[in-house]
Chain A
């Protein structure tokens, strides 16, 4: 072997790598006879020893927090996958219901707050009506609301907020039916009629539990709610249109409390 051949295998020789035994012996015998190659081999072996010492000295591991965060990511990734489409739809449905209820409560609270800050109008209570309602405090809220709602004086409602209460007697009747109002039962206001004719409303749904007072007079306020609010009242909702909003009329008493709601299309 000559110096060139020795140079080609010096790394394997110094690193004790896998090499042909015959070639190894030839290289070692060459280094024994060539001073330059012997020095070269000694340097390479020293370097190998230094690199091994470095490998041993720097053998750290990744901090435990990395494993923790990776495990969290793993759980997050695989926790979401096995859920079936059906159960996801179910979860969405509950989400819509919860969102609807929250929206209605928020709207009602806002409306109540707004109205309670305005001076109380000159509406007067009808004592006989109040007494009649007070006499049946444990009645179903529908029954409790029923006579009270019928006393809403329409002349107290601002023109822009006026909406035909299709049949006051039905206020508070919990029903999922969507009724087309009978035009003949409305007041003879042509402007209002033309507006109302195009609308389809549901029955009024009570918003207040029993025993929270009766309604002597109040206002109907037109609001817009997330479509998911329909589900809060047991009405069917097209999930594809969940992002859209829907109009609703809220009956607000003079005490500022919202009493009932109906949906308008």
Chain B
């Protein structure tokens, strides 16, 4: 008895290059979420993430022969293309004031999502903390941001992240160390600000 086997990425890529639409669809569905999330977490912009995802797969469609399996996985290759596009677009948009679109998130709230499970206050606090962390990551320099996104949010190994960034493994390790230290500093600073704001001066109350 033979077990049904899932085709590997290189197999699907070969079939795709032969014009197999199903192979392309399968490959897209397998890899689009990671690419989209990476672009979104790197930029904070849904529009940019959509553009980048589209461009990544168009590049794959047109220049599939440029992928070299000896240099890394197809996933790393796609992340690498996405990274280049994101950095290029962020560089282009640098003169503009960064704008985080909250309305897009608000539109996606479903009735189910509005029902808080457990303690609503702790859910709110948890949500605020996640948002705070997201904003802090976005405020970091791109070279630190990308290692946090790849290694911590996408759970890539140092070797995989190095293949995406096209640098040495040691560089990824040291950058991640520095990035996490930066994040902790910013979190501590934010926490201190919140505690200062919550302090009450009793002298003013009796005045």
For A50, the chain B residues whose CB sits under 8 A away are 129-130, 133
For A69, the chain B residues whose CB sits under 8 A away are 54
Q: Are A11 and B180 in contact (CB under 8 A)?
A: yes
Q: Are A11 and B177 in contact (CB under 8 A)?
A: yes
Q: What is the CB-to-nearest-CB distance from A170 to chain B, in angstroms, rounded to a whole number?
A: 54
Main secondary structure of the interface of B (DSSP, over half): helix
Q: Please, which residue of chain B has its CB at the minimum distance from the CB of A43?
A: B184
Q: Are A71 and B183 in contact (CB under 8 A)?
A: no
Q: Would you call A182 an interface residue if the criterion is a C-beta within 8 Å of the partner chain's C-beta atoms?
A: no
* Bound Cα distance A83, B56 (Å): 27
For B19, the chain A residues whose CB sits under 8 A away are 78, 81-82
Binds B, one of A59-67, A111-119, A240-248: A59-67
6-35 of chain A: CB within 8 A of chain B = 11, 15, 18
Q: Would you call A85 an interface residue if the criterion is a C-beta within 8 Å of the partner chain's C-beta atoms?
A: no
Q: How many residues of A contact B (CB 8 A)?
A: 32
Q: Are B184 and A60 in contact (CB under 8 A)?
A: no
* Bound Cα distance A48, B183 (Å): 11
* Bound Cα distance A78, B35 (Å): 24
* Bound Cα distance A61, B129 (Å): 22
Contact of A62 among B36, B152, B173 (CB under 8 A): B36
Q: Are A51 and B21 in contact (CB under 8 A)?
A: no
For A74, the chain B residues whose CB sits under 8 A away are 21, 24, 61
Q: Are A77 and B61 in contact (CB under 8 A)?
A: yes
Contact of A58 among B37, B50, B57, B58 (CB under 8 A): B37
8 closest A-B pairs by beta carbon, nearest first, are A78-B19, A62-B36, A51-B152, A55-B153, A62-B53, A61-B33, A62-B32, A50-B133
9-66 of chain B: CB within 8 A of chain A = 19, 21, 24-25, 28-29, 32-33, 35-37, 40-41, 49-50, 53-54, 57-58, 61-62
